[in-house]
Amino acid sequence: MTQMVQQMVQHDPNGTTNGTTHPAATTSSGDLLKSREWTGQFFTGAAQLPVSFVFDERSLRGIPEEWQPVSARHRIDANISETVFEGTDSGTGLNIRVEYTEYHDYPVVEWVVWFTNNGDEATPVIRDILPMDGTFSGSSPVLYHCNGDFCSEESYTPEETSLIAGDTLEFAPNGGRSCDGAFPYYRVNFEGCGLTIAIGWPGQWAANFHGLGDGVHVQAGQEKTHLRLMPGESIRTPKITVLAWIGDAIRAVNLWRRWYLAHILPRPNGHPIRPLLACCGPDDGVEFTSATEENQLRYIEKAKQRGIPFDVWWVDAGWYPCYDDDHERKWQITGSWEPDTERFPNGLKPVSDCAARNGADQLIWFEPERVRPGTKLDVEHPEWLLLVKATDEGQLTGKEQANRMLNLGIPECRQWLTDHICRLIKDNGIKIYRQDFNFEPLRYWRMNDDPDRQGMNENLHVQGYLQFWDDLLDRNPGLWIDSCSSGGRRNDIDTMRRSVPLHYTDYGYGDHPVKLAFHRTLYEWIPYYKECTLSWDAGKRSRFDDRIDRFSFHCGMAPMMFATLDIRRDDYDYDLARKMFDIWRRASDLFLYGDYYPLTPFHRNPAEWVAWQFDQPESGRGIIQGIRLPESPQESSTFRPQGILPNSMYFLENAETCEKKEIAGDDLIHDGFTLELPKRSGAIWFYRMKVFSESNRVSTS
């Protein structure tokens, strides 16, 4: 295949691109040089580290010379090396350790800071710890930021803000979950270049971006630290990830996606998670409170009889004993983590075995951090639970009155939970561990901190949470984790190293204009997520589609698709479903591994079109998907696909209609690609490229 055309594209403020060719999102020497220019300055020595803190009322930066800092560098593998900077205060025994990681195949660096008390007494107070406290030079900075998930149609809204000299933008999530109302992923655009910054902290982080005349000063860390360390104790900071790039924002997006897929997307059994089709049969109860061994086995067999080729059998909340005082099942009554013997007398193993016989893995929902009064954990281990008490400033919320929080910062608690969940995984054939978290933890942490230990409960809990997941993955080869937290409220980069967010929001599952807007943002940051085939534009909001049509399938396509079919019913068009599943199978790898080009601006307008493209320049293949939303008066729309090469011929196919076209690359560049669709419909066009040489010989890419 010929060299990708290296023509830069002017970035459109609306988030689309004003051209039809774009440089491949592979690492260039310019990217690496820019990375060394921006971040290399911080790691030439211990004194230059971009770390600041106040210790015993002394403001410090890096590791002070009197702490006798040392450093050591080693290779982790062919593409990653690590340098460790370390020093110790001889008077108190406080040790600081900075672990700095360099990627050699991408212009990415990361670092995390540890503080450990190696002395015999409590340390003086350490406060205002910032693992990111440094300046990046560049002209005309613009900050790309987002508001995360908070169960609203306004979630995942991208914004661009010019950072004028003297201006400061400050960010922090709500209530202690990392993506609740704020999003720990940022891009800073300078003229012709920029940097991407991610904050890895599944708790309450804070960040600010301060505009300078010739750059941006960035600070980020755990929001509140004012604490003493007891002998032997350690705390860690958020992990900071910085990617540097030359070009515009859309190239930054695809460089990030490629790095993410290469180094962040989990790899169970050494293989990256592939696109999968999920299916379920919860019966008529709320969530899975009416699920039984009998109906789960029956629904699995019926789904296969219907010809639904599912890869995952999904069992969500309510499979455990969750009885109230009237012996009614309520899924929120968590804290007794065993299969409900009334409904699953043989545990969940018969269900997972049946799923496996039909070629599927079993997914099971958990919420270990929430404990309700009277459940097993509440009765047997009250010493492991954090409670919130009413204060003069305000009364407890309903959730705070009902919930206790399992304190994963207690090693004995974390170890018990690890052993218990590992037993459940093995005994019940669980292949996908789904963890939810449905309340705000921040007041539980802070109200139980001593005055000179502020931030300690949060820090220890975060350490315990990440260690718990690491141990689950280590002890259960092939297991993978689904991260959920009232939707997508805890999907920071450190959580994503260990999981994928199959349920990225609790809002608008069948609200097409809204969820497609969510997709537009998510594809820039987290390439793997799940979407379902629900349609709510007819008015009814249910867990199943009441009408199955092409439109609901088009709006539900993502790297994982959830088949929201009520398999008990006989009146669905299962032939259509099977056809659409086949098309999704063909497209799903491109959704996941293709370079992503949004072809329409961000919007939630039901009277508009939505379109995007996923392109694999290495293979010359890709897809263009267009969706005409229900109220759009526009019968046709023309889009300008990216990555198109002149002197090439493109073969395009609509797999639904079997329509085929041949269009010259020059024509696509100059005229674009036009779709004509009825209202409330969509189309996917697959394409592949043939390259014409100067002698007019044709080679298939």
Closest CA to 260 of 547, 626, 529: 529
Tell me 384's DSSP state.
Answer: G
> Backbone phi, then psi, for 604, in 5-degree steps?
-125, 30
Tell me 323's DSSP state.
Answer: B
Tokens of 160: 């661009």
Apex 76 CA angle, 73 and 79, nearest 5: 105
Tokens of 274: 């592939």
Question: pTM score, two decimals?
Answer: 0.94
Measured between alpha carbons, how far is 110 from 102 in angstroms, rounded to an integer? 7
Is 132:171 a contact under the CB 8 Å cutoff?
no
Q: Specify the pLDDT at position 549.
A: 85
Q: Specify the pLDDT at position 23.
A: 56
Tokens of 362: 């079993």
Half-sphere exposure of 435 (CA within 13 A, CB side): 22
Q: Specify the pLDDT at position 22.
A: 53
Encode burial over 261-287: b for 16+ CB neighbours within 10 A, e otherwise.
eebbbbebeeeebebbbbbbbbeeeeb
HEC string of 136-172 equals EECCCCEEEEECCECCCCCCCCEEEEECCCCCEEEEC
Q: Which residues of the chain have pLDDT under 50?
A: 1-21, 694-701
Measured between alpha carbons, how far is 465 from 401 in angstroms, rounded to an integer? 23
Q: Specify the pLDDT at position 213.
A: 87
Tell me 63's DSSP state.
Answer: S
Q: Specify the pLDDT at position 393.
A: 62
51 Ramachandran zone, left/alpha/beta (phi>0; psi -120 to 50) = beta
